[in-house]
Amino acid sequence: MPATRRSPFAYAIVRVVPHVERGEAINAGVIVGCRPRRFLAARVTLDTARLLALAPDCDEVEIRRHLDAIPHIAAGDPAAGPIALLSQPERFHWLVSPSSTVVQPSDVHTGMTSDPAGTLEHLFRTLVLVPEPGARGAGAGPGTEPPAGDWGDTAADHEARGDGPTTSWPGGRDRQGQS
């Protein structure tokens, strides 16, 4: 069976920061863009119990309204407003632009994938959903494995496996300071 072609992708975690001045955040979604595959999608959820534990005075309805718009903008749904009418790369950059609002993206991370939709689901399960009590690891449990034959490799995945530096710093040095 021939190897599946892998393509670069980028993603950001969508965070809810109910009180920006405190900096406490809840992961509430993931945005994945894979330009070579013309793929842009997002998944969001709001863990109300965690939100209210952090900020009992927050406006859950307003936060949910902002979160719910993200997948529609990513999909280019005209009902989502003028940003949704931008090109796919422009929508991705708009969605992941740094923000100091209550709903904000993380830094953008990159990886390689042969299945962008499967990678989105894997990242959503492992970075956003809270593991069941007694489960080991983030998102542990049935169905949390990445797509077969595709780990949606990110820099953190390479580091965890120890299969070489993934980032070069100025001067040609890796993160451990080695040339």
The predicted model gives 7-19 an average pLDDT of 97
Phi, psi of 154 (to 5 degrees): -115, 170
pLDDT digits (tens, 9 = 90+) for 42-77: 999 999 999 999 999 999 999 999 999 999 999 999
Q: What is the pLDDT of residue 67?
A: 98
Name the pTM for this structure. Answer: 0.76
pLDDT digits (tens, 9 = 90+) for 28-45: 999 999 999 999 999 999
Work out the pLDDT band at 170, boundaries 50, 70, 90.
Answer: very low
Least confident of 100-114, 128-142, 160-174: 160-174
Q: Which two tokens stand for residue 51?
A: 């939100």
Q: Which residue has the higher pLDDT, 48 or 144?
A: 48
The predicted model gives 8-22 an average pLDDT of 96
Q: What is the pLDDT of residue 75?
A: 98
The H or E element containing residue 158 is: helix 155-161
Q: Which two tokens stand for residue 13?
A: 């975690």
Q: Which residue has the higher pLDDT, 76 or 162?
A: 76
**Neighbouring-strand partners of residue 159:** none
The H or E element containing residue 124 is: helix 116-127
Q: What is the pLDDT of residue 135?
A: 64
- Say whether pLDDT at 24 is over 60: yes
Between CA 123 and CA 15 the distance in angstroms is 14
Between CA 80 and CA 75 the distance in angstroms is 9
Question: How big is the CA angle at 114 (ends 109 and 120), to the nearest 5 degrees?
Answer: 50
The predicted model gives 158-175 an average pLDDT of 40
